[in-house]
Structure 1
Amino acid sequence: MAKHRIDTMAFSGVYPHYITKAEKKGRSKEEVDQIIFWLTGYDENALERILSEKTNFETFFDEAPQLNPNVSKITGVICGHRIENIEDPLMKKVRYLDKLIDELAKGKSMDKILRK
C-alpha cells in the first residue's frame, strides 16, 4: 500500500501548527501537550526528543508507549472524513490527534476532550 505524505512528515513540522491553532483560540501549549500525552502515553522528555530528532508521524505513533484505551470514544468528522470509518491505522491515529486539537480550539473543556 502506498504511503500517505503524512506518514513521512516530521511531527515537529506540524506541532507548531497545533499550538498556533490552540493559542489563536485562547488555549495553551500546555493543553496541546496534555492532549498528546493522553493520546500517546509520551511524556515531556519524550516529546522534546521527538521534536529535536524530527521524528516522522509513522514512527511517532509506532513508538508511542500506549495509545489511550479511550480512543474509540473519539468520533465525528475531521477533514471531511468520519473517523470511525478510516481504515488506515496510522491515518486514523493522526485524525484522532487532529480531532482532539480541533475540540481544544473550539473551546471544549479538557475533561470532555480527554473523554473523562
Structure 2
Amino acid sequence: MKETEKHNEKIAKLIFASVYPHYVTKVESKGRTKEELHQVIEWLTGFNGTKLQEMIDEKVTFETFFDKATLNPDAELITGTICGYKIEEIENPLTKKARYLDKLIDELAKGKKMEKILRQ
C-alpha cells in the first residue's frame, strides 16, 4: 500500500490516549499484560510508566507523542508489514514511528518472546 499525505496527517492528529485502550485490549485478549505493553512502549520511546501516563492524561497527538520520545536506535531493526504497509518503505518519519509501535504491539499480541520483540 502507498502512503498518502492525507493518511500521514490523520496519524499525526490522532490522539494517543484514544488508541492506547485498544493496545491494552489487544495484548490482554491474547494473554499478555499491560506491564509487557508498557515495557515495549518504553523500549521504543523511552517513556517510563509515569511519562506514558502524562502523555495519556495530556491527550497528546501522535505527532507530539513521538516528538517528545527518544526513539530507540534499534527501532530500525523493526521490519515487515503492518496494516498493509511495508515498514521499510514508509517515507514519512512520523508514520514510520507509529507503524513501529503498531508492529511491536502486534508481535506482543502474537506471543513473540520479549527478547525478539525488543530486538535483543
User: TM-score with structure 2 length normalisation?
Assistant: 0.92
Q: Distance in 2 between matches of 1:32 and 1:42?
A: 12
> What residue in structure 2 maps to residue 85 of structure 1?
89
Aligned-residue CA RMSD in angstroms? 1.0
- SS of the counterpart of 2:112? coil
> What residue in structure 2 maps to residue 28 of structure 1?
33
1:9 aligns with 2:14: yes
1:109 aligns with 2:96: no
Percent identity reads 59
Deviation at 1:80, TM superposition (A): 0.8
- Residue of 75, 80, 85 corresponding to 1:76: 80
Q: Distance in 2 between matches of 1:4 and 1:31?
A: 29
Q: Distance in 1 between matches of 2:108 and 2:102?
A: 10
Deviation at 1:20, TM superposition (A): 0.4
The runs of 5 or more residues in structure 1 that have no matched partner are none
Runs of 4+ in 1 over 6 A off after TM superposition: none
Deviation at 1:28, TM superposition (A): 0.6
Bigger shift: 93-102 or 4-13?
4-13
Q: Deviations over 1:16-55 (max 9, x none)?
A: 1001000110001111111110000111111111111101
Deviation at 1:58, TM superposition (A): 0.1
1:39 aligns with 2:44: yes
User: TM-score with structure 1 length normalisation?
Assistant: 0.95
Q: Distance in 2 between matches of 1:93 and 1:7?
A: 11
- SS of the counterpart of 2:63? helix
- SS of the counterpart of 1:75? coil
